[in-house]
Amino acid sequence: MGDLFVLAISCIFINNILLAQFLGNCPFLGTSKKMETAVGMAMAVVFVLVLAGLITWVLDIYLLKAFNLEYLRTVSFILVIASLVQFVEMFLKKSIPGLYAGLGIFLPLITTNCAVMGVCLINIKEEYTFVEAAVSSFAYAVGFGLALILFAGVRERINLARVPKPLQDTSIGLVTAGIIALTFMSFKGMV
Amino acid sequence: MAQSLAKEFTKGLWAEIPPFRLVLGLCPVLAVTKSVENGIGMGVATTFVLVFSNLLISLLRNVIPSKVRIACYIVIIATFVTIVELVMQAYTYELFLKLGIFIPLIVVNCIVLGRAEAFASKNGPVLSVADGLGIGLGFTLSLAALGAVREFLGNGTLTIWEGLPVFEMGAGFLPFKFMIEAPGAFVGLGLMLCLMNLIGKK
Amino acid sequence: MREMISMIVVLTVLTAVSGGLLAAVKSGTEVQIENQILKFQKAPAIQDIFPEATNDPLAERFTIKTEDTELQIFPTLLSDGSKAIAFETKGGAFGGPIGLMVGINLSTDEIVDVRVTTHAETPGIGTRAKDDLSFVSQFSGLKIDTNFALKGDGGVIDAMSGATVTSKGVSVAAAQAKDIYQKLKPEIVKQMK
């Protein structure tokens, strides 16, 4: 139990997926201009990442590793993630329209969000057990949401500031992200 | 024909150079540019995937039903990515270890899928290859440039390829370690983007 | 309906071709990849553990099969003439599997030296154990039946400060080496000519 807690902490803070591992940066910069979209994206990622992490783990252990087909990992993972996203979208549309209204537009973007594919690959590379994979997927997703929402909060303030013209938009966004990454670096050595 | 070919090729080098003009595919840009060598390696791998997936998708553009086109593109791209992964593992093992999971992640690099959807699915094979080469080369140049800035400031060296140190600062130079850590990637890219804006909008 | 069929046919053909192509590339690169892993991960570790080896442990390697796994054994002769072997184990602490090459003197059952083999894929993890030789050198000279746990857990190994988890991974790998060695020693001795 203690180990799982440490694992969760390290996935959320120390190895934060956006700021330390550099995965999922396109939506990080793309959806952080408004708090509302940032929250939507964060929720959608938590939802899909946990599902994808577990499904790809089962697929890898019971199919790919069992039949020595590891070289098909990239192809099969991306197909699983793409169809999972489609499926989740259809399911939400039919059964939980309220949630769909909130997450709907973010779901298609998630297929090419490398955070999802990245965490699935990390789960396999680090040889996690099923429970560990579940914890790490969830914790990485929470870390993603945390960084994204923090960043969106800062960015809303930047909109009010006077930024030199060449630095505007993505450029100042990246510099700000760098400073937030610096604060996250202080978590290093905690575990 | 030759003119449009040249145009498709050169647009990737300046007018639409990723990731500066097209802000796509940032993750590998930030993650692997600790040194010039890593940047070039990643750029070449991505270029290979871009060129071949563009070529194949363009050849098959009339066969692929539009409803499942994204799935088809993904299969094609993933196949070439795996080929790159295996070949790199077999012949440039050290680089393969340094780039780690970012090689399989070329699959979800928005640039590759973006070019397939926006260009290769509408144009002939020759133009698509030119487009892939141009964008790929532009991507490689950007990665190498950012890698150069970070390696130079953060480590005091510039190495184009293994065992070929082009430049090394004297012992008096105190490396600016911040640049090769995670925050340096963001700040470095942000400032380079600013520089591009300055030059571009005279 | 026709559209449906064409969709399914195209996708099936495409995935089949992709699978076939990849299988071909895979079998074409397999031997080369194994050589690369030996050359870049195992060879440097073995060289560090047995600096005075008079033979080529890599060329003389042999494998031992147990029920569930295969183990590669790298044999060598130490300068005092006693036989020694090295093999690799993995510590499954979270934060990534840590590979540990363990060299053991067959006649005294003492650890000659250990080295961390896996390359850090995530920044920071494992690198300390690889570079900080004062940590791994704690193992050299210990009897193989020592309790390799960290001091906090009742063993004899000092953890690296600020890298407890990595230290734990290494100690788990060493403990695993103990189990393997004690189980397979007769088999190993039999196969050493």
Note whether residue C104 is domain-resident.
yes
Note whether residue A190 is domain-resident.
no
Note whether residue B169 is domain-resident.
no
- Give residue B41's domain range: 2-147
Q: Which of A40-49, B135-144, C51-60 has the lowest mean pLDDT?
A: C51-60
Return the amino acid letter for C71. Answer: L
Note whether residue C161 is domain-resident.
yes
- Please tell me the predicted confidence (pLDDT) of residue B44: 93
Tell me if C94 and A10 make a contact (CB, 8 A cut-off).
yes
Query: What is d(CA A9, CA B24) in angstroms, rounded to the nearest whole number?
Result: 30
Note whether residue B188 is domain-resident.
no
Quick one: pLDDT band at residue C123, thresholds 50, 70, 90?
very low
Note whether residue B138 is domain-resident.
yes
Reference B39, options B152, B165, B158, B141; nearest CA is: B141
- Please tell me the predicted confidence (pLDDT) of residue C115: 86
Give the C-alpha distances (Å, rounded to integers) separating B133 from B3, B17, C151: 16, 12, 57
Shortest alpha-carbon distance between residue C25 and chain A (Å) = 10
CB count within 10 Å of CB A22 equals: 28
Question: What are the chain A neighbours of C22 within 8 Å (beta carbons)?
Answer: 71-72, 75
Shortest alpha-carbon distance between residue B161 and chain C (Å) = 18
Q: Which residue has the higher pLDDT, C2 or C180?
A: C180
Note whether residue C73 is domain-resident.
yes
Quick one: pLDDT band at residue A1, thresholds 50, 70, 90?
low
Q: Which residue has the higher pLDDT, B120 or A29?
A: B120
Does position C108 have pLDDT exceeding 50, yes or no?
Answer: yes
- DSSP letter, residue C133: H
Note whether residue B197 is domain-resident.
no
Question: Chain C residue closest to A21 (CA)?
Answer: C122
Q: Which residue has the higher pLDDT, A27 or A176?
A: A176
Q: Looking at residues C7-22, what average pLDDT do you find?
A: 88
The closest CB to that of A25, out of B27, B79, B183, belongs to: B27
- Please tell me the predicted confidence (pLDDT) of residue C65: 78
- DSSP letter, residue C144: T
Residue-averaged pLDDT of chain A: 86
For an interface test with B, give the residue of C2, C5, C14 to mutate (most B CBs within 10 A): C14
Query: Which residue stretches of chain B have pLDDT < 70?
Result: 1-2, 22, 161-167, 169-171, 201-202
Does position A6 have pLDDT exceeding 90, yes or no?
Answer: no
- Give residue A67's domain range: 2-185
- Please tell me the predicted confidence (pLDDT) of residue A143: 94
- Please tell me the predicted confidence (pLDDT) of residue C162: 65
Query: What is d(CA A33, CA A169) in angstroms, rounded to the nearest whole number?
Result: 9
The structural domain count of chain C equals 1
The closest CB to that of B110, out of A112, A116, A175, belongs to: A112
Looking up tokens 């973006």, which residue turns up?
B114
In the three-class reduction of DSSP (H, G, I as helix; E, B as strand; rest coil), residue C86 is classed as strand
Does position C73 have pLDDT exceeding 80, yes or no?
Answer: yes
Interface confidence (ipTM) of the complex: 0.84
The structural domain count of chain B equals 1
In the three-class reduction of DSSP (H, G, I as helix; E, B as strand; rest coil), residue C159 is classed as coil
Reference A119, options A148, A103, A139; nearest CA is: A139
Is residue C152 within a helix (H) or strand (E), and if so which, with residue range?
A: none
Residue-wise pLDDT tens digits, A145-163: 999 999 999 998 888 888 8
Residue-wise pLDDT tens digits, A53-107: 999 999 998 988 888 888 889 899 998 998 888 888 888 888 888 778 777 677 7
Residue-wise pLDDT tens digits, B148-172: 888 888 877 777 766 666 667 666 7
Angle formed at CA A80 by CA A74 and CA A86, multiple of 5 degrees: 135
- Give residue C86's domain range: 46-191
Strand partners, C73: C62
- Please tell me the predicted confidence (pLDDT) of residue A191: 59
Note whether residue B93 is domain-resident.
yes
The structural domain count of chain A equals 1
Shortest alpha-carbon distance between residue B67 and chain C (Å) = 8
C132-136's contacts with Cβ under 8 Å and 24+ in sequence apart are C132/C160, C135/C160, C135/C167, C135/C170, C136/C170
Note whether residue A191 is domain-resident.
no
Q: Which of A51-55, A104-108, A111-115, C139-143 has the lowest mean pLDDT?
A: A104-108
